[in-house]
Amino acid sequence: MQRACELRRTEGMTLLDYLNVLARHKLLVGVVTLLVPAAALYFTLGQQPRFEATAEVLLSRQDLASALTSVPNPNGDILPERFTSTQARLARVPEVAQRAVAEAGVADRTAEDLLESSTVSGDATTDILVFTVTDSDAAVAIALAEAYAVQFTEYRHELETASLGAARTEVDERLTELRAAGSKRSRLYKNLLEKRRELEVLEALQTASSSVIQRPAEAEQTRPRPLRALAFAVPLGILLALALAVVTHLLDTRVWSAPEIAQRLKLRLLGRVPDLPRRFRPRDRLIMLNRPGSPRAGVFRVLRANLELANRTHAASTIMFTSARSDEGKSMTVANLAVALARAGKDVVLIDLNLHEPAIEGLFRLKDRAGMTEVLAGAVEFEHAVKDVPVRSTQSSRRAKGAASGFEVGGRLRVLPAGTLSGTLADVAGTAAVSDVLDRAKDAADVVLIDTPPLLGGADAIALSAQVEAVVLVTRARKAR
């Protein structure tokens, strides 16, 4: 997370920028990527176990009796797909299911249960029906699948021989009637007796037109199957996470980086200031006073150098610091910059004009001291309200003689806090009294830095911008919108 004071422009997004989008939403990506497989695994393991057993039946359309007797085969002209579909529908009649349940010896299953938990399928390229039974018990699934296939073959054979048996029975009844009438020597009796012999031959030649060619040896577990669920859920979770990251990025109006702000505001970048750890107390946030030799203090030296370089063409001596929101580190930045300028030999006056939420007095331990509000009210003179703040540490004092070699030489820093009347004054930003104070500060110092209210907090910052010579915008990445 960084604060950008003024920003430089950048070109279009690169591949690295798109990768940064994923990095910004890494928590969302990680949570969704893990949550989807976890949910799938939880749901899968909570399923009741199911086992599937299959048996196969070969269908035959050859009719030996028709071939020997030269009688046309009734199944010979049926299209293959129609024949297979018809036999599959025939296997779904309730009587076949009832016979299968009875033969399997399963007491707690009914024919309706078998029909609901089974399928019979075939295709036009083969004359094979596949009987599939699913059950919570593997042994029951195997027994029902085998019994279902066997009973179908027997039921189909019964249907095919039933017409011959009915015809023979009818001939027997007619022969009995002729014998009772004493017409055994009649021509009709002899013809009927010949027909009965032919029917007996046809019945003997009528072989089964279907047979079980594969019995179920084992039942395959169809659920739960956690590995298959994970194989499907992991890619789905990744795709969903990436999609959510992109959608979140498109809907997120926050500014994530200095280059992004540069594209929108067209400002020059003066420096980037990293956030201080939360363990730092307010007075410890003055890194330039408390830890001037730390790497964090070096950031403000860079900011000071960049500000002086940018100010060469403008020669501005009154510079206000503002931000869009009140929590973007504006006061901490301007306070440390004031110390950095003073340690570089500048005569600096730091003024707190954020009268509604003053922060400078807390950073420099100047609470309950007369300040800007007292000067504006005429209760205290400007010269008596400003407070001198020592900026040269013991180390810098010992090195003062080495300034020519590049060491910092202490200047002067004076701070004008908001004062004790900050809650009673309002709408003073654009008044002549404020302009007069700024003029007096400008005459008394090399540089005047002004901490002002945020732009979105009211009209004070806009009014003050007309009374200064330069404006520095401080913004916090991932906060500004």
Per-residue model confidence as pLDDT tens digits over 155-169: 988 887 777 677 777
Least confident of 73-77, 300-304, 349-353: 73-77
Least confident of 26-40, 57-71, 75-89, 300-314: 57-71
Q: For residue 137, how many other CB atoms are within 10 A of its CB?
A: 16
Task: Reply yes or no on whether the pLDDT at 480 is more than 70.
Answer: no
- Cα–Cα dist 270/247, whole Å: 32
Q: Which one-letter DSSP state was computed for residue 265?
A: H
CB 161 within 8 A of CB 65: no
SS3 35: helix
Task: Reply yes or no on whether the pLDDT at 182 is more than 90.
Answer: no
Task: List CB contacts of 24: < 8 A, sequence separation 6 or more.
Answer: 249, 256
Res 142: pLDDT: 94
| Token duo for residue 155 | 């039921």
Res 101: pLDDT: 94
The H-or-E segment that residue 59 falls in is strand 50-59
Res 350: pLDDT: 95
Q: Which residues of 455-470 are buried (b: 16+ CB within 10 A; e: fewer)?
A: bebeebbebbbebbeb
Task: Reply yes or no on whether the pLDDT at 243 is more than 50.
Answer: yes
Closest CA to 303 of 275, 273, 276, 283: 273
SS3 36: helix
pLDDT in tens, 287-343: 888 888 888 888 899 999 999 998 888 889 999 999 888 878 889 999 999 999 999
- Cα–Cα dist 138/80, whole Å: 34
pLDDT band at 196 (very low <50, low <70, confident <90, very high): confident
pLDDT in tens, 408-423: 566 899 999 988 876 5
pLDDT band at 150 (very low <50, low <70, confident <90, very high): very high
Give the 3-state DSSP-derived string for 406-458, with helices as H, strands as E and coil as C: CCCCCCEEEEECCCCCCCCCCCCCCCHHHHHHHHHHHHHCCEEEEECCCHHHC
Mean pLDDT, range 232-259, rounded to an integer: 81
Q: Which one-letter DSSP state was computed for residue 173?
A: H
Res 387: pLDDT: 93
Phi, psi for 141 (deg, rounded to 5)? -60, -40
Longest dimension (CA), the chain: 155
Phi, psi for 100 (deg, rounded to 5)? -65, -45
Four-residue CA torsion sign, 22, 24, 26, 28: negative
Count of helix runs (H) and strand runs (E) in the chain: 19, 14
pLDDT band at 104 (very low <50, low <70, confident <90, very high): very high
Q: How far is CA 213 from CA 53, 117, 124, in A?
A: 14, 22, 18
Task: Reply yes or no on whether the pLDDT at 2 is more than 70.
Answer: no
Least confident of 8-17, 415-424, 436-445: 8-17
Res 411: pLDDT: 85
Strands 272-274, 347-352: pairing kind:
unpaired
SS3 5: coil
Q: Return the percentage of the chain with pLDDT > 90, whole number.
A: 30
Task: Reply yes or no on whether the pLDDT at 394 is more than 50.
Answer: no
Res 259: pLDDT: 66
**Over the chain, what is the mean pLDDT?**
81
More confident residue, 65 or 372: 372
- Cα–Cα dist 88/122, whole Å: 7
Task: Reply yes or no on whether the pLDDT at 224 is more than 70.
Answer: yes
Q: How far is CA 337 from CA 77, 270, 334, 416, 446, in A?
A: 99, 12, 5, 15, 14
pLDDT in tens, 358-390: 889 888 888 888 888 889 888 899 999 999 998
Least confident of 110-124, 132-146, 399-413, 419-433: 399-413
pLDDT band at 65 (very low <50, low <70, confident <90, very high): very low
Res 25: pLDDT: 83
Res 115: pLDDT: 94
Closest CA to 248 of 13, 7, 480, 23: 23
CB-count exposure of residue 166 (10 Å: 0-12, 13-18, 19+):
exposed
Res 35: pLDDT: 93
Task: Reply yes or no on whether the pLDDT at 270 is more than 70.
Answer: yes
Angle at 409 between CA 404 and CA 411, to 5 degrees: 140
CB 336 within 8 A of CB 287: yes
CB 372 within 8 A of CB 355: yes
Res 393: pLDDT: 54
Q: How far is CA 191 from CA 174, 183, 185, in A?
A: 11, 12, 11
Res 62: pLDDT: 55
- Cα–Cα dist 399/71, whole Å: 125
- C-alpha 443 chain-centroid distance: 59
| Token duo for residue 223 | 């659920």
pLDDT band at 398 (very low <50, low <70, confident <90, very high): very low
The H-or-E segment that residue 350 falls in is strand 347-352
CB 469 within 8 A of CB 314: yes
Task: Reply yes or no on whether the pLDDT at 11 is more than 50.
Answer: no
DSSP string, 89-154: HHTTSHHHHHHHHHHHT-TT--HHHHHHTEEEE--TT-SEEEEEEEESSHHHHHHHHHHHHHHHHH
Q: Which residues of 185-204 are buried (b: 16+ CB within 10 A; e: fewer)?
A: eeeebeebeebbeebeebee
Task: Reply yes or no on whether the pLDDT at 346 is more than 80.
Answer: yes
